[in-house]
Chain A
Amino acid sequence: MTSVFIILLGGVFHAAVLFLVAAGLQLVFGVQKILNLACGAFYALGAYFGITAVSVAAALGLPTALFLPVLILSGIVIGLIGAPLERLLRPVYRRGVVYPLLMTFGFVLMFHDVFRYFWGSRPQTMSIIYYLAYGTIEPLGAQVPVYNLLVILASVVIAIGLGGFLQRTKTGRIIRATAENRDMTEGLGVNVGRIFTIVFTVGCMLGTVGGALVVPSSVAALPMAIKLVIDAFAVVVIGGLGSMRGALAGALVVGLVQAVVTVVMPEVTMLSIYLIVIAVLILRPVGLFGKESI
């Protein structure tokens, strides 16, 4: 019972982080129709920068207990890099799906060396002090770091905030209108270029915040930029391209399946995820929450 609980909680933790990255991917795809291969690079960027930000904060004498807000803030700040990258993408939107995709692949290559230049090839870790800074609790006799619960909470808050932003604010409505019909929205006098910049930057921030949140429990390493893309893509395919609810459902499926399979049969973790992906693509290619029109 206890072990099942730990496994499931681990799965939800993983799902919470995956959701953030996948939500960024979905937002960018839904509005700009770009498949962003660099989402994993943003995630890694957030992780690396988070370590640096926390160590700087520690050097400035900030109390350890405040490191979670520092991490989230660092993710938001470094996520601003999405704005200049979006400017680069702008000329190729109208050239079909291939060229924007390729450009984001170029970003992946460039970020890889940026990480190596600033943080070196060796994996970077954050002191365990931070991971356990908020202590552990023992529900059902299992030891769970409070940090994991806080990350899940943060992810839920971000999800609700994002949903509220898209559903209830004026900018959110304009973003949804742009996703629906770009030309019509532009025709009604909306500065679509500005909307795209906002969307891409927010998408980027979701990735960097996700990376920053995961790093205390894990490491920042070069392969994570490439590995995460695999998981994030699985999430959006299972959930349905361009759908936020889909990102949530997909992240839960991938997170939980991964957590369970890793324990039961570790060899087939990734295999099981991709079998689900392929099954979804065959049976319901638009994903669980995708629109039929794609």
Chain B
Amino acid sequence: MNVRARGAPASSFRSLLPNLGGLWLFIILIAGMAALPTFVSTYTVLLVVPIIGYGVALLGFNLLFGYTGMLSFGHALFLAIGGYTVAAMTSRLGMLNFEMILVVAVALSVLIAIPVGALCVRYSGIFFAFLTLAFSMLFYSFLFKFYYITGGNQGMSVSRPLLLGREFDVGQTAFLTGPFYYYALVVFAVLGIVMWRIVESPFGLHMRAVRENPDKAAYVGVNVYRVRFAAFIISAIYGAIGGAVLSTTVGLASPELAIWTHSGKLVFMTVLGGSGFLAGPVIGAFIFAFLQNSVMTVTGYWRFLMGAILVILVLFAPGGITGIVNKLVARWRPGRR
């Protein structure tokens, strides 16, 4: 009975309803974040800076998980690469130029993602999750044990970088909530638009085809291995840039960046916001950070609550927040029932 209704041409009303997977939601988010410092306290802005870092990383992670259907449980590896690049370059090598740092972080992440990805994307499903987890833990143990290179569990501190060659003679908080905030936001916006181009391209369509049915996709001529590999490399690049922003915010790169629970946190944020929607994971990062912050002011047992939320989410709203809204919007659409 639904077949005809679904196949019916879109009514003019229906076309007015927004598509939550669209770029507009992302642009609204960016605009909101750009306007944020004028409305809220410095403390709140300080809370948002790491979200930008996570946002960048999650854009990439969503390409891999949400669009290509590959659950990586070791994606934190690339955040750690970005984080340690910033730390090593600023505090060990004295190279403070942030653009340079980002370029090096991207280069390093690609260099590592090529062999790791080539091995991992031969598998999908649980084996892919396993393999990526194994590689991230390999890196974690390297960071942890080779303390004379990496600082061990103390981590490596991050000195303040130069943005566009400029030095800012202000306090750390003012730097993070001022110049760095806008700098990171611009990076985020650009990377988001690039991501939008990727997922809306024929290549993005290939990715979704691979997610839905790899065998069928291969049958109609999609090179499944290459699509997955490309998604892995791109997500690694985004992860490294996100990690670089994140570590600069925190002022420290520690082995905890690479541990498997950190990867779990990335998955959590993505599912919370809604995977497969461009802006979904970013919304997830926002909700996660503010929820965690507000729960922490009440009780120290925020993990219990977050865990419970994850369980409830998996049970009742696997599509995440964006998925729920999308469903409500779809219910409004005529021609569905």
Contacts and interface: CB of A to CB of B under 8 A. Distances in A.
Interface of A: 35, 37, 88, 91-92, 95-103, 105-114, 116-117, 226, 229-230, 233-234, 237, 241, 266-271, 274-275, 277-278, 281-282, 285, 294
Contact of A102 (B119, B135, B267, B302): B267
A16 to B, nearest CB: 23
B145 interface: yes
Interface string B128-151: 011101110110111011100000
Nearest to A107: B307
Contact of B311 (A103, A233, A234, A267): A103
A139 B130 CA distance: 41
Contacts of B71: 97-98, 101
B69 to A, nearest CB: 9
Given A108-B307, A109-B306, A270-B137, A116 B314 contact: no
Interface stretch (B47-55, B101-109, B229-237, B256-264): B256-264
Contacts of A230: 137, 260
A35 B129 contact: yes
A110 B267 contact: no
A146 B172 CA distance: 57
A99 B314 contact: yes
Given A103-B311, A226-B261, A278-B119, 14 more contacts: A88-B311, A92-B314, A97-B129, A98-B71, A100-B314, A102-B314, A110-B303, A112-B303, A114-B304, A234-B134, A270-B141, A271-B145, A277-B134, A285-B123
A95 B319 CA distance: 12
A278 B130 CA distance: 10
B261 A108 contact: yes
B308 interface: yes
Nearest to B141: A270
Contacts of B127: 281, 285, 294
A233 B133 contact: yes
Contact of B308 (A98, A99, A106, A278): A106
B134 A106 contact: no
B18 interface: no
B98 to A, nearest CB: 31
Contact of B142 (A91, A114, A116, A271): A271
Nearest to A236: B130
Categorize the interface residue count of chain B. Answer: 35 or more
B311 A37 contact: no
Contacts of B315: 88, 91-92, 103
B125 interface: yes
A127 B334 CA distance: 70
A134 B73 CA distance: 43
14 contacts: A99-B314, A102-B310, A106-B306, A106-B308, A109-B310, A233-B134, A237-B130, A241-B126, A267-B146, A274-B135, A274-B141, A278-B119, A278-B134, A285-B127
B277 interface: no
Interface of B: 71, 73, 119, 122-123, 125-127, 129-131, 133-135, 137-138, 140-142, 144-146, 259-261, 264, 267-268, 271, 300-304, 306-311, 314-315, 318
A126 B258 CA distance: 32
A76 B261 CA distance: 27
A269 to B, nearest CB: 8
Contacts of B122: 285
Contacts of A268: 141, 145
Contacts of A271: 138, 141-142, 145
A88 B311 CA distance: 8
A274 B126 contact: no
A106 B130 contact: no
A105 B268 contact: yes
Contacts of B303: 109-110, 112-113
Instruction: Give the most central of B141, B300, B306: most A CB within 10 Å.
Output: B141
B318 A95 contact: yes
A55 to B, nearest CB: 24
B14 to A, nearest CB: 29
Given A102-B271, A233-B133, A274-B141, A97 B314 contact: no
A234 B137 CA distance: 10
B314 A278 contact: no
Contacts of B304: 109-110, 112-114, 117
A226 B130 contact: no
Contacts of A278: 119, 131, 134-135, 138
Contacts of B73: 101
Given A98-B71, A270-B145, A281-B130, A109 B307 contact: yes
Contacts of A241: 126
B126 A106 contact: no
A106 B137 contact: no
A25 to B, nearest CB: 12
